[in-house]
Amino acid sequence: MGLDALGIGALSDLAATAINKIWPDKTEQEKAKLVQEMAIVNAQIAANQGQLDVNKVEAANPSTFVSGWRPFIGWVCGCGCAINWLVIPLVRVGMGIAGKAFEIHSLDFAEMGPVLLGLLGLGGLRTYEKINGVASK
């Protein structure tokens, strides 16, 4: 008659589980946590790589409607910055010199800043594409 027939194997497993819950093995916990963190990192890397692949395909397309959105957003953001830091101050000075009462408010950089910083990042990607010969003609 084996130990399993007496139920001792099941009792042994139950005792081991209880002991591990009361006095957990730190190395096993750390290994499990590391495996979980690695799975999250790998999922993020895969998502980022997928987006980079989409960006490369869009940038390589000869159609302006596909690859031209980056330049369009760049010009819009550039014009917004030019208006905010060049045109508005010059208009204020000119109207002050002319003696006219004129009030114009600057644009909110909190709205333009993320677009500008994002475009600077895309500009870096575009440079990388040009260096590697992926840039559209």
The gap from C-alpha 18 to its chain's centroid, in whole angstroms, comes to 43
Query: 1: helix, coil or strand?
Result: coil
The identity of residue 53, as a single letter, is D
pLDDT on residue 66: 60
53-104: per-residue pLDDT in tens?
877 777 777 766 566 766 777 778 888 889 988 999 899 899 989 998 778 8
How far is it, in rounded angstroms, from Cα 29 to Cα 49?
30
Q: Please determine, for residue 1, whether its predicted confidence score (pLDDT) is greater than 60.
A: no
Is residue 82 within 8 Å of residue 90, measured between CB atoms? no
Residue with tokens 């395909």: 57
pLDDT on residue 137: 53
Q: Would you state the structure tokens that stand for residue 45, as one six-digit string? A: 């890397």
φ, ψ of residue 39 to 5 degrees: the values are -65, -40
pLDDT on residue 59: 72
pLDDT on residue 86: 92
pTM over 0.75: no
φ, ψ of residue 104 to 5 degrees: the values are -135, 135
How far is it, in rounded angstroms, from Cα 95 to Cα 78?
24
9-13, 16-20, 92-96: lowest mean pLDDT where?
9-13
